[in-house]
Structure formats: structure tokens, C-alpha cells
Chain A
Amino acid sequence: MLDELEQRVIKCIAQTQHLPVEKITLESTFEELGIDSLDGINIVFALENEFDIEIPDEAAQQIRSVREMIDGVRKLVEQKRAGTVGA
């Protein structure tokens, strides 16, 4: 079962790439999904809007799979939550 964050990330990828959600699994690599560097920055843009986070350039350039993307987003969302609670 996918958790809520995983579902939202996959939905962002699907919408940006005009792909059916079913085609995208946690194990999919960007290569398998035909996602190139230009597509990658589009997805990063969609994720920043969806989760109201800032994805740093280095992270955006290194991510090559759906799982890496989900892990990265989860980390940023948790950091943001911690920051908000701390403030």
C-alpha cells in the first residue's frame, strides 16, 4: 500500500509527464519512464508547489528514480514540519 505522500508524488509525476498513474511504481527509474533532465525540472516544480517546499538544485539534479524522489520530498516535508513546530 502506498502512503499519502507517495501517492501525491506519483500523481505529480503522472500529471507532469502525461502518464497514467498505474505506470509509475516505487521501483520505476526515470530512464524507464522516459523522464529526461528537462522533464525532471518540471516534476521538481510541480512537487515544490504541491508540498510547498524548496528543493535545492543539487538534489534536483541527482535524483534518478521515483523512490529517491519520494525519500527526498519526505525529508524536506519533515524538515519543514520540524521548523514550523520549532518556530
Chain B
Amino acid sequence: MPRRRVAITGLGVIAAIGRNVEEFEESLRAGRSGIAPIELVDRSQLRFSNGAEVKGFNPLDYFSPKQAAMLDRFAQFALVAAREAMADAGLDPRGIGERGAVVTGSCVGGQTTSDAGFVELYQKGRPRVAPLTIPMTMANAGASFISMEYGIRGPVFTLSTACSSANHAIGLAYWLVRDGVVDWAIAGGSEAVFSLGFLKAWEAMRVVSPDTCRPFSKDRQGMILGEGGAMLVLEVLEAAQARGARIHAEIVGFGMSSDAHHLTQPSVDGPALAMRWALEDAGIHPEQIGYINAHGTGTISNDPIEVAAIRKVFGRHTDRLAISSTKSMHGHALGAAGAIEAIATVLALRDGFLPPTANFTEPDPECDVDVVPNQARQQQVEYALSNSFAFGGLNAVVVFKAPPR
């Protein structure tokens, strides 16, 4: 089957800076950060105190009490985002379920549920753990619930590649639609990181910032953990146009690579290779890219290495690129990061603006690129990259194109 063009016709997001696409875009344009003192966990037991939580999230606004009790917070975020994306796409799933796919990413799945179960067992000395702990903890719970809600009966699966999970998911879903395995897909990721056990584990890694997330700033002190979910509805472009759907953007390329180097230390070559494969997959030249939504975690080591990798691929064109990290606003949502950043990138291409790197204070000579500091910029670009690089050295890069006009 010849390759088909793939349109994004539905967007859904829930994150610290917005409980839907409209709120999320407003925050991006305003450069508003959602980083604040952690409320979901007793922060007095932690060395860091800030996170990017979805404040005031009440599952009963979205689910019946019985359904809410069956869904870990991460799966709730997956469904909330999928519902918004499907409503936005206006796609009637009846009769096309066999030709649809769901591909989601999550790093730690329903860990908040297993954490709560272990508190009962180890701390409170209870003899048993709630019976739904197993199906609520599994990382594919979100994908399974989306499949059940819309009757999607084709390929449904979840990828777990730490911080690259959602980009791997979106990229593979793109290939499934492009190459004719399916005709449409819901793709993205979701994550719920806020349990004491998991935050203590991050604390021990010594990469979490004591104040905020300042990607590419000289005084950056680390990442800030975030949570949320984001989903895209992908369709064959021609079919979407034929039914008169709004096309938000296209996905035109996907590249992945492995550093084969170190469990946690980033490398220049691995990310550079993933960017190169993505451009090759898209069949475009580096000079055609105008914006990169960076992995940009704000850790001491990630940011300069990412800039070096970009320089390696883009050469002198690097100085003409806008490169921002929206993690400065929505935090690092691990397995959902690529999906939340995909929404930011698509909105940028659709609405002609570049989201900023918030909390930026001081340029770092090792990150000497245009990071769109603090203020969003009115600028229309044609092609954009979204980077995700994971612990374990796994890299995934997606290429987006502005909608046909």
C-alpha cells in the first residue's frame, strides 16, 4: 500500500497548565507556569517541594463513582484527554472500530494505586490489598478503557520507554495509519507521578530542582515532575478532508534511536541520530524545520547535550531555529511528556505562535540558542520537531507540519 498522509483531527489534554486544550493554549501563550507546591503528597517528607499537578481534579466531574473507583489517576487522565480529542475530531467510531488503533505511552502506569496498596500492607499492617490493584496498576489500563469506550478493536497497546513513551506511541500510531495497517488512531500518553514512594525515588536520583524548572538557563537546578495526559486523533488526510474535518496539523515523520551508552547519562549521538531519522522519514531537509519543542528537562546535563545534538544535525541552521522547552510550564510528565508537548507543537503550527521557555533567567553559553525566553512569539513556522529522550538512552522524535491552507 502506498504511504498515506496523516492528519491530526482531534486534540485533548489535561495538565498542570490547563484542563482542556483551550486553557492549555492560553497558558502557553501567556508563558504561565503550572509549577507550585505539591499538594497530593505530604511534601514535608521530601527534599523538594514543587511539582506540576493538575490542581483540583475531581474524577467525579468525568466519571461515575463506580467507574472512577476502577481507574487509577493516570488512566483517568488518559480517558479525559481521549474524550476531548474524540469530541474535537467529531469522528463517529461506529462501524470503523476494526480499522482503528489506540497506542498510548506511560512510564509507571498505575503506580499510585500500588503505592496505596503497599501502604495498607507494609505500613498499616493490613493482611490484604484491594483486588483491583492489578488491573488498575497495569500500564495499558488507559488504552484498554479508551478501546472499550469507543469500540476500537484493532491494534491497542501501550509503550513504556520512560520519558520517550508518548513519542514512541505517537510515532508508531502515525506509521500504522500512514502504512495502511489501520485507518485511524488515538495516540498519546498519560502519567500520574505523585505518590510518596515514587517521589522519594526521584529525590534519590538528585535531579529534581529545589525551586522551579529553568530549561537552558545558566542557573537551572533540575527538572520538575508533572502529571497529566494528552491524546491525538490521527486519520488519513484525504478521508479527514472528505468528511470536512478540521485539520490541526499533520504528522510527517518519526525517528527513533538508542544511545547504547549509559542508563542515565545523555549522549549527543543518540538524540542526533533520532532527529536525523525523523527528518529522513519525513523526506525534508533540516533547513525546513522552524521550531523544536525540546526535551529540555532543565537538568544540568540534559540541556547542553541536547543543544549539541541539535547543532550536530542542523549545523548553521541551528541559529535560525526557535527551540523552547514547555516543560518549564507543564513539568516533566514522563511517559505523557511527548503527548503534552505534541499538543503544544500542534497548536504552535496551527495558530502561528511559538510557546516560550518559562522561568528563564540567564543565558548559558553552553545552550547558546534562541530558547524563546519567557514570552510567546507570534511566528508561523511550517515544520516542527518534538524531541523526547529517555533514561535508558531511548530517543524518539516526531516531525509535525502546519495544516494545509
Contacts and interface: CB of A to CB of B under 8 A. Distances in A.
Decide whether A and B are members of one complex: yes
B128 interface: yes
Interface string A38-65: 1001101100110000000000000000
B65 A48 contact: no
A48 B128 CA distance: 9
Contact of A18 (B64, B130, B132, B135): B64
Contact of B66 (A18, A45, A49): A18
Contacts of A17: 66
B131 interface: yes
Contacts of B66: 17-18
A42 B65 contact: no
A57 B3 CA distance: 52
Interface residues of A, number: 9
Nearest to A17: B66
Decide if the interface of chain A is mainly helix, strand, loop or mixed: helix
B12 to A, nearest CB: 26
B65 A18 contact: yes
Interface string B32-66: 00000000000000000000000000000000111
Question: Among the interface residues B126, B128, B130, B131, which one has the most CB atoms of the partner chain A within 10 A?
Answer: B131
B64 A42 contact: no
B65 A41 contact: no
A15 to B, nearest CB: 10
A38 B132 contact: yes
Contacts, number: 19
B131 A44 contact: yes
B131 A45 contact: yes
A38 B126 CA distance: 21
A42 B132 contact: yes
Contacts of A48: 128
Contacts of B131: 38, 41-42, 44-45
Nearest to A52: B127
B141 to A, nearest CB: 13
A18 to B, nearest CB: 4
Interface string B55-80: 00000000011100100000000000
Nearest to B65: A18
Nearest to A39: B66
Contacts of B135: 38
Interface string A11-49: 000000110000000000000000000100110110011
Contacts of B65: 18
Nearest to B70: A38
A18 B65 CA distance: 7
B91 to A, nearest CB: 30
Nearest to B69: A18
Contacts of B130: 42, 45
Interface string B124-141: 001010111001000000
A45 B130 CA distance: 7
A18 B132 CA distance: 16
Contacts of A41: 131
B64 A45 contact: no
Interface in B161-178: none
Given A38-B132, A48-B128, A49-B128, 8 more contacts: A17-B66, A18-B64, A18-B66, A18-B69, A41-B131, A42-B130, A42-B131, A42-B132
19 contacts: A17-B66, A18-B64, A18-B65, A18-B66, A18-B69, A38-B131, A38-B132, A38-B135, A41-B131, A42-B130, A42-B131, A42-B132, A44-B131, A45-B128, A45-B130, A45-B131, A48-B128, A49-B126, A49-B128
Interface of A: 17-18, 38, 41-42, 44-45, 48-49
7 smallest A-B Cβ distances: which pairs? A41-B131, A18-B65, A18-B66, A45-B131, A42-B131, A45-B130, A48-B128
